[in-house]
A and B are shown apart, each in its own frame.
Chain A
Amino acid sequence: MAEDHLPQVLVLRPPKCFTAYETQFSEKFHFLKAWESPLPTTDFLATHAASVEAILCNSFTPITADILHHLPSLKLIVTTSVGHDHINLPECRRRGISIADAGHVFSEDCADLAVGLLIDVLRKISAADRFVRAGLWPISGDYPLGSKLGGKRVGIVGLGSIGLGVAKRLEAFGCIISYNSRKEKANLPYRFYSNACELGANSDALVICCALNDETHHMINKEVMKALGKEGVIVNVGRGAIIDEKELVQCLVEGEIGGAGLDVFENEPDLPEELFTLDNVVLSPHLAVATPESLSGLFHLMMGNLEAYFSNKPLLSPLLDE
């Protein structure tokens, strides 16, 4: 069989990109499909994956120390996500395993959704759409006033390619941009704040675009939300656990902050009940990057990374140690 000559790539659970482009992927690689086997994962790996050098995964498939332990020949992890919080990075570093991610493929779509959520919360778009669909316009007359975007101070948490995309877009609406990042970035017209609390105190809205790691876990906590204030709005397109979700819900319910637009949550798809009935939140099922165009771009990038590795060329979108 031709596929015996093709390089092997392990897939534990199929990312959407794999499902959509399986035919094209399979022209160049032989995929070990762990999810199709009746064996438990670690048994499957022990039986079939001893010589596997590459794995293709998404952000919903944790690459734990245990999994890594069962892949003694692993040299490359290709993840279809921008986030790496599902991968045991220290263990990968120790073993010299390279990681390739989604690079900038999703940055535009993610920035678009972040801006869309912010406008929705401030201008009550989803809430007003519900109002019209419920047939209330002829009955209730006017709808409550929203809040103007122009002149709002927007604090971006994490100024990577997604955060920069958000900044560029919101500037055109007359928003005043500042940010918090691990390090200040040179040559930018935006004000830098060294911690999220100070950023919150000087902002009318926070847009979370950073990665989830030990430093950013629950970084947006009660203190930050109190600093943001009762009119403040939070938009999150990063990872749910960057925000202390219990605290967020309490602040929303008690009116300690003004509203939230959320694409990510701590325990997807389980959400705190209270969110379902709040009028000042907009909820999205982790779809910031779900466009056909992005999927196609992602396919080309994943394919390119795998091809590069197996022909000893540099990866297209390596995760670099900083």
Chain B
Amino acid sequence: MKMENIRILLTYPVPEYLVQELEKRFTVFKFRDVASNPQLLGEISNSIRAIVGTSAWGADAGLIDALPKLEIVASYSVGFDKIDLVKCKERGITVTNTPDVLSDDVADCAIGLALATVRRICVCDRFVRGRKWKEGEFELTTKFHYTIRKTLMKSCKCDGGTKGHYSKFMSLNDLCLGAPLKVTRSGCSGGGISEKVHCVEEAIHLKSRGTYFDQKFSGKSVGIVGLGRIGSAIAKRAEAFGCKISYHSRSEKPESYYKFYPNLIDLATNCKILFVACALSKGTHHIVDRKVIDALGPKGIIVNIGRGALINEPELVSALLEGRLAGAGLDVFEHEPKVPEELLRLENVVLQPHVGSDTVETSIAMSDLVIKNLEAHFQNKPVLTPVI
């Protein structure tokens, strides 16, 4: 069946392989070209029969309304939160996604983020690249910095506010020579305490105790929010590290032997590393909120490979700044590609530009699935992976 005349609107960005495969079969209009050219949009809007969307660009009500001949939205993603499903159902528009083929990659990314956060792999890499190893050992310098900051926050009588207190890093050498600690504090109005004395005491305590900062990963209790294909793949990998797995889901999975928590706060209370792996919907928007973060606690780590809006991002940021959460590994954010400024300076976070499924192998598999869904639809056969 000849399909070259079928007109497809392609949102952006997608891998070159997908663009090529689409252009071999269909007439493709790239959204970025169309959006800046109202005349072209006017010409083609009556003939577009398919949209290929991504996790960044889907099909909202406005776009669907502008395309009266739209029959199918084939998303190059497993998430479909950017597609107005209600509108599509109304119009009888088929929606497909790319489940399964990317579950392994996203799970690998989740575990990679957890390891990088807990074992501080990126921080250590920056430390070595910055040629700091020759000046002194990693754990001595970093531990010292963190402990001083915590001490000040606990002892000062001012309310501190969300700015908190920031100490200046001092080298261990200077400390040993008895140099007074200089501390810069922002937002402090309470007079505080004699931070010099307090800090020197703390630092001496540090020096004699020996200093390791990293936490162990193996054997840590793991909580998974959403035990779907991706959540299950994460669980399987974490088990190989001796982690105990529990989960929270809309409903208990009888075939699973992991411990089920019907209440997310209970899950957070009972785990050290929380993986957020569920779909984004009205029901799961900001499902990880202040209460959940508090339940996870100051030794807890959050890894998000789902959607940014699953977590209340301002709450997450302030918890990290204030030491109410030990760290976070984040592949997704509420307003991608914008990442909260404060996170860019933190050492206890690992930040990724939404690359959970971004491998050469999987991008080909996802692209092939998009193509197969489109071909099936236009050949009047059942699509392979319908959402609705």
Contacts and interface: CB of A to CB of B under 8 A. Distances in A.
Interface in A265-287: 268-271, 276, 282-285, 287
Interface stretch (B60-68, B111-119, B195-203, B250-258): B111-119
Main secondary structure of the interface of A (DSSP, over half): helix
B350 interface: yes
Given A172-B240, A284-B121, A119 B359 contact: no
Contacts of B363: 145
B216 A125 contact: no
A285 B105 contact: no
Interface residues of A, number: 61
B125 A282 contact: yes
Contacts of B119: 112-113, 116, 291
Contacts of B126: 130
Nearest to A107: B218
Interface in A68-120: 108-109, 111-113, 115-117, 119-120
Given A108-B218, A129-B351, A147-B361, A120 B237 contact: no
B338 interface: yes
Contacts of A314: none
Contacts of A124: 355
B108 A150 contact: yes
Contact of B242 (A22, A108, A119, A173): A108
Contacts of A292: 212, 214-216
Nearest to A144: B358
A151 B362 CA distance: 12
B129 interface: yes
Q: How large is the interface on B (under 10, 10 to 19, 20 to 34, 35 or more residues)?
A: 35 or more
Contacts of B358: 142-143, 145-146
Interface string A295-314: 10000000000000000000
A16 interface: yes
Given A22-B208, A108-B219, A119-B111, A128 B355 contact: yes
Contacts of B214: 287, 290-292
Interface stretch (A30-38, A42-50, A131-139, A187-195): A131-139
Interface stretch (B35-43, B130-138, B259-267): B130-138
Contacts of A143: 353, 355, 358
Given A112-B218, A132-B353, A149 B138 contact: no
Contacts of B212: 16, 20, 290-292, 295
Contact of A16 (B210, B213, B218): B210
Nearest to A109: B216
B127 interface: yes
Contact of A112 (B108, B217, B338): B217
A271 B360 contact: no
B53 to A, nearest CB: 15
A287 B360 contact: no
A90 B239 CA distance: 42
Given A137-B353, A287-B124, A290-B212, A116 B138 contact: no
A285 B116 contact: no
A115 B218 CA distance: 11
Contacts of A295: 210, 212
B208 A168 contact: no
Given A268-B133, A292-B215, 17 more contacts: A19-B210, A21-B210, A109-B216, A115-B115, A116-B116, A116-B217, A119-B112, A120-B122, A125-B112, A125-B352, A142-B353, A143-B358, A146-B360, A148-B104, A148-B105, A150-B104, A287-B124
24 contacts: A20-B210, A112-B119, A116-B116, A123-B109, A123-B112, A124-B355, A126-B116, A128-B355, A143-B353, A143-B355, A145-B360, A148-B360, A150-B108, A169-B241, A172-B237, A173-B237, A283-B128, A284-B125, A285-B124, A287-B138, A287-B139, A287-B214, A290-B139, A290-B213
Interface of B: 13, 15, 104-105, 108-109, 111-113, 115-116, 119, 121-122, 124-129, 131, 133-134, 137-139, 208-219, 236-237, 239-242, 336-339, 344, 350-353, 355, 358-363
Which 3 A-B residue pairs are closest in the complex by CB-CB distance? A20-B210, A116-B115, A172-B240
